[in-house]
Structures are given as C-alpha cells and as structure tokens.
Amino acid sequence: MDYEIIWLPDAERRFDATIEYLKQRWSEKEVKDFIDYTNHVISLIRSNPTMFKESTRRRVREVLITEHNLLLYRTIGNEIQLITFFDNRQNPKKKYRSI
C-alpha cells in the first residue's frame, strides 16, 4: 500500500525550529546529514508504518531520530500523519500535547 505523508503544522514548525537550532551549533554537513537521515526514516515509515515502536498513546508511534529528537506519527487510512518532533530533554509530560 502506498501511504501519503502528511506533515501536521506542529511537526513542520518543530522540525524547522530544530534545523535552525542545529545550524547554530553543528556544521553544515551535520545539519544536512540530520535532514537526510530524517527523510530516510520518513521513507521507512512510508514503506512500513508499523516498523517503529508504538507509544503509550493509542495509534501513535515514535521513532528516535537522534538521542535528543523523537518523531511521533500515526497512520489513518492511507495517510501517515507526522504529528510532532519532540526534544527528549524536555519534560516527558509535554510529549503528547500536540495530539
């Protein structure tokens, strides 16, 4: 089945904010590698949405992008909704606020 990737507004906003943060602290190559790896993970999700760990929230899955960045997503029909990027250094209670 071919799944359509949908970036929800919070995921898009947080991903962009993460990139801006990384640009200030990482080299250009490291930022590019982060973006490439994130795109690779999204392509894995597209081909097999159940590949990654189910979270404590029903129908929400999570995948670790880096030790500090977690991607939350869910599958609804033929759509995969990227819900948010979460910084693991934050209070864990904030993880599901976007859902």
pTM to 2 decimal places: 0.86
| CATH of segment(s) 4-88 | 3.30.2310.20
Residue 95 in this model has a pLDDT that exceeds 80: no
Residue 97 in this model has a pLDDT that exceeds 70: no
Q: What is the distance between the alpha carbons of residues 26 and 54, in angstroms, rounded to a whole number?
A: 31
Sequence spans of domains, the chain:
4-88
DSSP conformation class of 96: T
Burial label for 71, CB within 10 Å (0-12, 13-18, 19+), is buried
Residue 29 in this model has a pLDDT that exceeds 70: yes
Q: Where do the DSSP E strands lie in 1-99? A: 4-7, 60-66, 69-76, 79-87
pLDDT digits (tens, 9 = 90+) for 43-68: 999 999 999 999 887 899 999 999 99
